[in-house]
Amino acid sequence: MRTDILAEDCVMPFRAALEGGLHMIAQPLLEYRVHPSMFSARRFDSVARKDRLYFAEARLGNIEEWMRCLQLSDKATPESSKRLAAFRELRRFDVEGFHSSVPQLMRRALAAISGGAPLRATLGVLRQHIKAAGHAEDRAEQLLESDRRGERAS
């Protein structure tokens, strides 16, 4: 078991399906509390950048674990391996996007798409990272301007 898997509830059903043991039932088996501070209840824009990076890394870890489980099973086909590899490219692009400039993002998006990442999903991730980069540049510009005027940064 990998220690970097954040959402084991995403990995366990995949493992069960590979072993033929996944069955859906309509009856709820447990209760859970839903509250506004849950990560999944918040809008992407309102989540701190470090939290978004943390969850992007967790999603990449999930896919890498799915790939490992698939290879260990006798269920791997070239098509299933190819599809998971394409989604791994998308998740790698997402993680790398947190540390990239806009030109780097554009090059990396093209590489991800060339590597098989889904076009629409890759463009969605690209848009989010460019939007975040724009906000960071706007904030940096505000801080520089206040510094030029001798104001205290807020």
Q: What is the pLDDT of residues 78-137, one digit of tens each?
A: 998 999 999 999 999 999 999 998 889 999 999 999 989 999 999 999 998 988 877 666
Task: Spell out the domain ranges in the chain.
Answer: 47-154
CB 125 within 8 A of CB 97: yes
| pLDDT at residue 119 in the model | 93
Residue with the bigger pLDDT between 76 and 46: it is 76
Counted residue by residue, the chain has a size of: 154
For every residue of 52-112, DSSP letters joined together read HHHHHHHHHHHHHHHHHHHHHSS---HHHHHHHHHHHHHHHHHHHHTT--HHHHHHHHHHH
CB 94 within 8 A of CB 37: no
Q: What is the pLDDT of residues 1-34, one digit of tens each?
A: 566 666 667 777 888 888 887 777 888 877 777 7
Identify the sign of the CA torsion 61, 111, 120, 101: positive
